[in-house]
Amino acid sequence: METLLPLLLFDPATALGTPSWLEIGFGAGEHLAWQAICNPNTLMIGCEVYRNGVAALLGQIERQKISNIRIWPEDARDLMDRLADRAIARAFLLFPDPWPKSRHAERRFIGRGNLDSLARILAPGAEFRIASDDPVYLDWVREHLPAHPAFEPVEDTGVRPADWPPTRYEQKALRQGRRPSYFSYRRRVMA
């Protein structure tokens, strides 16, 4: 945390010259690390507020000598406000906190304000991937994402695509008998 993190902090003022993907809330970073290894010419930007998750990802980066990850150890919404229009080629939101109670709905990431910000930073045709095992959150996604004019559905399935590695949250859900769903939406190409 003290030596490697300062070297890998993402600076949103940096011009993004390579394809850049954004993971919102990377947990322990296993998905982000896997994607970085499999896509070495892509800059992977990971957002995570929990220090233990950041530390776990730093360990993977160091052990596996991963060079194409940058970290934003703050709220993803603050980063999205600072990114240039159309800067991101793919975004991930995997097993977010569902905030299952109605009174907490405004804390869910999927909502008009965050989707507007995400639509601004996603390049036309960019993919937005979401996964959850929480039935309330799944219903929320199915209600809110198709209603947003900037996004069109690509896939809504109970089968994880091959280029989408399992995470520990997914494995925990499966062990506990919950069935995850996987969504892919595309940023519409708008005139």
Give the span between the Cα atoms of 1 and 117, in whole angstroms: 29
d(CA 15, CA 59): 27
First to last CA, the chain: 44
The answer to whether the CB of 49 falls within 8 A of the CB of 23 is: no
Which residues, including other chains, have CB under 8 Å from residue 104's CB and lie 6 or more apart? Answer: none
**Known catalytic residue at 156:** no
3-state helix, strand, coil in the chain (%, to 5): 35, 25, 40
Strands (E), 48-121: 69-72, 88-94
Structure tokens at 80: 């999205």
d(CA 153, CA 161): 15
Q: Which of 85, 97, 139, 163 is catalytic?
A: 97
Residues labelled catalytic: 97
